[in-house]
Amino acid sequence: MSRTEQAAREARALLYQCYDGVLSTQSVAMPGYPFGSVVPFCLDRHSAPVILIADIAQHTKNVLADPRVSLIVFDRSADDLQASGRLTLLADALPLAAGETEDIAARYYRYFPEARDYHLTHGFAFFRLAVRRLRFIGGFGAIHWLDPEAVLDENPFDAETEAGMAAHMDADHIPAMQHYLRSLLSIEPGEATPRFAGCDAEGFHLGLGSQILRIRFASPVESPGDVRRALAALARR
């Protein structure tokens, strides 16, 4: 495996691990200056980040005037951010087409259930970050420009399949999810009930309160049967 291929794999693992980052947009109020703030996101079926922002937000005003943005993600648990991996995605922030919203909204709300009520306060809209290029820093001297096709994988599970997995796990396998948190992540769930947020070829996310936690499979999966076997193997650990 080449250094670039290894960097792309590490960049993908970092992106899949993260659920928020620093979004920078082109400021309308201060032309020529970037405007940055922290935003939550989830990935769509093509691994592009999707954000939900209010119509009154500065980011919305900015991207409607100029869609060019950057999103920086990094491991928030790292002791030394300068020595650990971080990833900058250069992208165009584009509003979702009407026919795309249902799938993305269902996935996003599994990750961030509190967002379901946002529309009661302000108008909110989903924007996809169509990635043009990525800059990955894996540590001192490990710096790479990467193309989107090298990093962003297709999710093998469609909306219906993933929703079925989540419903099944939430209804019948809460003890298993608690076990994953304790045995694999050394996290005590306490009184909080974990939820199955999403699944992809390389792992899955559990929600615990406001946290989103990543657990990787031992090897990539391609079908619901693969996922069942992988989850059963993790439950035995």
Question: What pLDDT sits at residue 170?
Answer: 98
Q: What is the pLDDT of residues 136-156, one digit of tens each?
A: 998 766 899 999 999 999 999
Place of tokens 């559990």: 206
Q: What is the pLDDT of residues 168-178, one digit of tens each?
A: 999 999 999 99
Q: What are the average pLDDT values for consecutive 10-residue runs of the chain, which has 237 residues?
A: 90 96 97 96 96 94 97 81 83 91 92 84 89 90 91 96 97 97 95 96 96 96 97 94
Which residue ranges form the domains of the chain, and what is each CATH number? 3-151 (2.30.110.10), 159-235 (3.20.180.10)
Considering the chain, what is the average pLDDT of its residues? 93
Length of the chain as a residue count: 237
Cα–Cα distance measured from residue 40 to residue 42, given in angstroms and rounded to the nearest whole number:
7
Query: At residue 217, what is the residue type?
Result: F
Which residue in 215, 219, 177, 218 sits closest to 194, CA to CA? Answer: 177
110: left (phi over 0), alpha (psi -120 to 50) or beta: alpha
Q: What angle do CA 55, 61, 64 make, to 5 degrees?
A: 100
Q: Reduced to 3 states, what is the DSSP secondary structure of residue 31?
A: coil
Which residue in 217, 223, 174 sits closest to 196, CA to CA? Answer: 174
Element (H, E) at 83: none
